[in-house]
Amino acid sequence: MSAGRIELSPVRFDERAQRLAVSVLQSGQISQGPMVEALEARVSAIAGTRHAIAVNNGTASLIACLRALGVGRGDEVITSPFTFVATVNAVLAVGATPRFADISSGTFDILPDSVEALVNARTRALLPVHVFGHPADMTSLCAIADRHGLAIIEDAAQALGAAHCGRAVGSFGLGSFSLYATKNVTTGEGGVVTTDDDSIAQSLREFRNQGLNAQRESVGFGLNLRLTDLQAAVGLPQLDDIEETTRRRTENAALLSDGLTDLDGVIAPSGRDGDRAVHHHYTLRVLDDARVSRDALQAALTVADIASGVYYRSLVSDLPHVNAATPRAGDECPSARAVTTQVLSIPVHQHLSGHDIERIVRVIRDVST
């Protein structure tokens, strides 16, 4: 018995987005213009930063952040092995060496002790990932960065609107967001850097535009990383709705967790007290003592027409191109490695109905008890 497919990250644009897109088409201003400016104003308000600089995707925004801080060859950047490959590709793109700290198996973020153990004279920056929309432990990471004089770049690609101890992610260091199709707010492709630093903001605006300043004079090396007004336009209504989207996702996560308590070996995701997560993914852990394996649980969901995903099936530190380019990589991360065999992300998005949640819970309970 199927009541229609339940998707993991559906993309829906309402009439407001359609109207704005048509207005861009009619305006004749199709590349970076007033819609991009409006998107930047909304993101800087959400992140609580003086500046937001839109770029063409979240990988470009990470690369722009690293370049803006002067991170390059010979520098080490400490990050998570349990992330989307873009995080580490950005580090490699600027010629720096990624180092990998182990993660908490409860909250999936890098462990401060593991980070501090990797710090050495070549370390330039920390690159924590707010994975699945849960803030990393920024209090501890900022303390480490302060102690050792390190920069912080937050990979907040999955976490627009999240906050740690009342402070928005993207405001602790340079913030890097993605507006890719699967993210909580999407323009198809897109990225945004957030910062309070006026001179870094200016250099980022120049870098995304061929190294041209506001007077269109060349002031250095740059690339074309511009977002288009057509893309920005379809993101504006979603940015206006972000509180409501996060409220629904938070409510859905709570309903799933209520429905999935008391299952042996099936662990619901947990956040840190005082943090505000945006629930990009709702990621279960299926342990060895569960009645069902992770893969069998995923198969049961597939049969019931419920989409799910394994994020992440392997560590980015194990990828051949990462090892080849970074002889110092291969840092042991036993918790992260164990987690890759346990995780399963199930739908939590804002378009789920109460009935959808009941269906998801029922399928999981049926095979887990």
Ligand X SMILES: *Cc1c(COP(=O)(O)O)cnc(C)c1O
Which residues would be at the binding site for ligand X (CB under 6 A)?
Answer: 57-59, 83-84, 86-87, 129, 155, 157-158, 178, 180, 191
Smallest gap from Cβ 367 to ligand X, in A, equals: 29
Quote the least distance from Cβ 179 to ligand X, whole Å.
7
Element containing residue 200 per DSSP (H, E)? helix 198-207
**Minimum distance, C-beta of residue 353 to ligand X, in the bound complex (Å):** 26
Degrees (nearest 5) of the Cα angle 319, 117, 279? Answer: 60
Comparing CB distances to ligand X, the nearer of 226 and 359 is: 226
Which among 282, 175, 189, 268 has a CA at the least distance from the CA of 231?
A: 189
| Sheet of 123-127, strands arranged across | 51-55, 191-195, 174-178, 151-155, 123-127, 76-79, 97-100
Q: Are 61 and 94 spatial neighbours (Cβ–Cβ below 8 Å)?
A: no
Of the candidates 81, 2, 35, 52, the residue with the CA atom closest to the CA atom of residue 303: 2
- Closest approach, Cβ 91 to ligand X, in A, equals 11
Q: Which residue, 58 or 173, has its beta carbon nearer to ligand X?
A: 58
Contact assessment for residue 247 and residue 255, using Cβ atoms and an 8 Å cutoff: no
Residue 149 · residue 175 · CB < 8 Å: no
Nearer to ligand X, 87 or 368 (CB): 87
CB of 13 to ligand X, least distance (A): 18
Query: Among residues 79 and 252, whose Cβ is nearest to ligand X?
Result: 79
Q: Which residue is nearest to ligand X (CB)?
A: 58
The answer to whether the CB of 154 falls within 8 A of the CB of 130 is: yes
Nearer to ligand X, 57 or 298 (CB): 57
Q: Which is nearer to ligand X, 49 or 345 (CB)?
A: 345
What minimum distance in Å lies between the beta carbon of 282 and ligand X? 15
